[in-house]
Amino acid sequence: MDFGLSSEQQMLKDAVRRCLADNCPLDHVRARADAGSAVSEPAAAALHAMGLSGLMVPEAHGGLGMTLLDAAVVAEELGRAVAPVPFLARSVLAPLAFVLAGSDAQRAAWLPAIAAGEARFGVAILGIVETRDGSGVLAGEDGLSGTALFALDFEGANHFIVADDAGRLHLVNAEANGVERVALKTIDATRSVGELRFDAVPGESLADDGGAAGRRLRDAGRALLAADSLGAAEVMIEKAVAYAGEREQFGRVIGSFQAVKHMCAEMAARHEPCRALVWYAAHAFDAVPDEAALTACHAKSHTGEVHRFVARTATEVHGGMGFTDLLGLHYWFKRIGFDRQVLGGPDKVRAEAAQLQDWAAAAA
């Protein structure tokens, strides 16, 4: 019995942290944001050199064949560093899609290319969760038509995995005829999303499994967004505590005032159990499949709520400085905001959790 990270996972965590400290300091994050790009080439290259592009690619196809908990460890570090690096779609969900629903030929064609960093995927599965603004993708005889919103890791993607309205996954070349790509700007400058408009686009379908693979991608995505949020929130708490230990008012460091101390204690107290919940959700994805969907919902919704509290409270502890651009605290604030909303906000995810337990009829 050992509830926690293995020594290998701890080493992976430390290695990613060192890599990002060297290649992705806050000044660099800011420079990329100012340049309007959510992709840091040096950081992405350094992580690729560590083999992370093939993290979820089976060893038989040239990858590391790791688990979602390993990916969660990486996601947490990316959140800590507010790293503008494509990861969730490109290195986790896309290879998972092929593992779960790819034919032998598709796997052989695409998994090695993902591990090599040549096939750079974005993933658009929001349609599995909800439709907005008339979005939706129909797969007909003449190909894909319609609109897919919130394609993740949009910038720099040369291919996309897209879920149609029946939940089936399709592979689309970004340059294919009839594909229009429109970047969406969000609060979070460190990640890129976009919308895909299809007009009779020839796609290559993955297995018709009744939407099972798509739901697995959704669960994995939720667990990893929660892991990203975990890392970002932890940094915000650390920064708040450090600031409260330095900043003096009324002749004392403000961290000695109980009003401030208790804000920090509340953040820590609410945040700490999130770590065990996120680890369990990621672990369950591979090891306890029956619980994977529900724990992914719990991890996503609970971190969404707790880390919204952490983001605003840590900002408040910094006083006026927290509100400025000078400290860059807002990069973490916004990263947490992104993690909360994407693939279903807390209310939406809780409604799904209720359905999973037959507590409520499925929404129409």
Partner 1 sequence: MNLEYGPEYDRFRAEVRTFIERHRPLAPKAGGRAARASSEAVAWQTLLLEHGYTARTIPREYGGYGAEPDILKSRIIAEEFARAGVPGGLANQGISMLVPTLLELGTEEQKRRWIAPTLRGEIVWCQGYSEPGAGSDLASLTTSAREENGEFVVNGQKIWTSTARQADMIFCLVRTEPEAPKHAGISYLIFPMDTPGIEVRPLKTMTGHAEFNETFFTDVRVPIDQIVGRRGQGWFVANATLGHERGMLGDPDALENRLLALIKLMQEERVGSERALDNPVLRDRLVALQAEVAAMKYNGMRVLSNQLKGEPGGMAKLIVKLQSCELAHQISALAIDAMGEMGILYDGSPREREGGAWQWNYMFQLGLIIGGGTAQIQKNIIAERGLNMPREPRLEPSAATSRKEVA
Our measurement of the distance from residue 213's CA atom to the centroid of its chain's CA atoms, rounded to an integer in Å, reads 18
- Told to check if 270 binds partner 1 by CB under 8 A, we report yes
Asked if residue 364 binds partner 1 (CB under 8 A), the reply is no
From candidates 45, 60, 360, 362, binder to partner 1 by CB under 8 A: 360
**For residues 314 and 48, what is the distance between their CA atoms, to the nearest angstrom?**
33
Looking at the Cβ atoms of 184 and 276, the one nearer to partner 1 is 276
| Tokens 């004392």 -> residue | 252
Q: Which is nearer to partner 1, 197 or 348 (CB)?
A: 348
Q: Provide the token pair at 323.
A: 């509100």
Q: Does 4 bind partner 1 (CB under 8 A)?
A: yes
Q: Among residues 22, 41, 199, 266, which is the contact residue for partner 1, using CB under 8 A?
A: 266
**Residue selected from 181, 253, 309, 328 as contacting partner 1 according to rule CB under 8 A:** 253
CB closer to partner 1 out of 216 and 298: 298
Which of 146/304 has CB closer to partner 1?
304
Rg of the chain over all Cα atoms, to the nearest angstrom: 20
Q: What x/- string results for residues 332 through 351 when contact with partner 1 is judged by CB under 8 A?
A: --------------xx--xx
Query: Which residues, 6+ apart, have CB-to-CB distance to 30 below 8 Å?
Result: 328, 331
Whose Cβ is closer to partner 1: residue 19's or residue 299's? 299
Contact with partner 1 (CB under 8 A) among 182, 262, 289, 323:
262
Contact set for partner 1, span 279-318 (CB under 8 A): 279-280, 283, 287, 295, 297-299, 301-302, 305
Contacts of 58 (CB under 8 A, 6+ apart): 65, 99, 111
SS3 326: coil
CB of 8 to partner 1, least distance (A): 11
> Looking at the chain, how many residues does it have?
364
Return the residues of window 32-91 that contact partner 1 according to CB under 8 A.
69
Query: Angle at the Cα of 215 (from 304 to 227), degrees rounded to 5?
Result: 30
Who's near 60: CB < 8 A, 6+ residues apart?
Answer: none
- For residue 36, which amino acid is it? G
Determine the size of the site formed for partner 1 (CB under 8 A). Answer: 50
> Which is closer to partner 1, CB of 33 or CB of 241?
241
Q: How far apart are CA 264 and CA 167, in angstroms?
A: 43
- The per-residue b/e assignment along 239-270, b for 16 or more CB within 10 angstroms, e otherwise, is bbbebbeebeeeeeebbeeeebeebbeebeeb
Which stretches of the chain bind partner 1, using CB under 8 A?
1-6, 69, 237, 241, 244-245, 252-253, 255-258, 261-262, 264-266, 268-270, 272-277, 279-280, 283, 287, 295, 297-299, 301-302, 305, 346-347, 350-351, 353-354, 359-360
